[in-house]
Amino acid sequence: MNQQKMPPALLRLIVIFPNVLSYLLLFGLIMFVISNYDTLKATDNLTVWLIFIVVLAPAAAYTTFSIVKKIRNGQM
């Protein structure tokens, strides 16, 4: 069974694109919380949105670190 390898440029694109989308989501969440701070606080939903941000930020950063590490090692 001979498996064809994917070109490194395409592999990078497939891996990096969702990571960029996660940063856009994080930025959108931060803007949403900033613009609706008073309403979220009044309805006791602020902590839920802050938890989303606190979970997404390190996940996006770790994924970026992992991608950069793989690219530097020549795996991607």
Q: pLDDT by residue (tens digit) across 27-63?
A: 999 999 999 999 999 999 999 999 999 999 999 999 9
Q: What is the mean pLDDT of residues 12-22?
A: 91
Predicted model pTM: 0.81
Degrees, nearest 5: CA angle 24-26-28: 70
How far, rounded to the nearest angstrom, does the alpha carbon of residue 51 sit from its chain's CA centroid? Answer: 15
Cα–Cα distance measured from residue 12 to residue 30, given in angstroms and rounded to the nearest whole number: 27
Could you tell me which of 75, 70, 72, 34 has the C-alpha nearest to residue 19? 70
Cα–Cα distance measured from residue 43 to residue 20, given in angstroms and rounded to the nearest whole number: 31
